[in-house]
Copies of this chain bind each other. A is one copy, B any other.
Amino acid sequence: MHPNLKLENIRNVLIRQEETIIFALVERAQFKQNEIIYSSAGIPIPDFDGSFVDYILRGTEVLHATIRRYTSPDEHPFFKDLPDPVLPAEAYDYPIKKTDININNHIKDIYINKILTAMCVAGDDGQYGSSAICDVAALQALSKRIHYGKFVAESKFLSDKETYLSLIKAKDKAAIREKITNKNVEKRLIKRVALKAATYGKEIDLTAPEQENQKQKICPQLVADIYEKWLIPLTKDVEVDYLMARGC
Residues of chain A having any CB pair with chain B under 8 Å? 16, 19-20, 23, 26-27, 30, 43, 45-48, 52, 55-56, 59-60, 63-64, 66-69, 72, 86-87, 128-129, 132-133, 137, 188, 191-192, 195-196, 199-200, 202, 204-207, 217
Alpha-carbon distance between A26 and B68 when the two chains are bound, in angstroms: 24
Alpha-carbon distance between A234 and B62 when the two chains are bound, in angstroms: 34
Q: Is the CB of A56 within 8 A of B52?
A: no
Q: Is the CB of A129 within 8 A of B67?
A: yes
Alpha-carbon distance between A30 and B46 when the two chains are bound, in angstroms: 39
* Sample of 16 A–B contacts (CB below 8 Å): A19-B26, A23-B23, A45-B87, A55-B67, A56-B63, A56-B64, A63-B63, A64-B129, A64-B133, A67-B132, A68-B129, A69-B129, A191-B206, A192-B206, A199-B200, A199-B204
Q: Is the CB of B86 within 8 A of A45?
A: yes
Say how far A61's CB is from chain B's closest CB, in angstroms: 10
- Among the listed B16, B26, B27, which residue makes an inter-chain contact with A30, where contact means beta carbons less than 8 Å apart? B16
Report chain B residues within 8 Å CB of A68.
Answer: 129
Alpha-carbon distance between A19 and B27 when the two chains are bound, in angstroms: 8
Report chain B residues within 8 Å CB of A19.
Answer: 26-27, 217
Residue ID in chain B nearest A126 by CB atoms = B90
Alpha-carbon distance between A196 and B6 when the two chains are bound, in angstroms: 34
Report chain B residues within 8 Å CB of A204.
Answer: 192, 195-196, 199
Alpha-carbon distance between A26 and B20 when the two chains are bound, in angstroms: 9
Q: Is the CB of A206 within 8 A of B199?
A: no
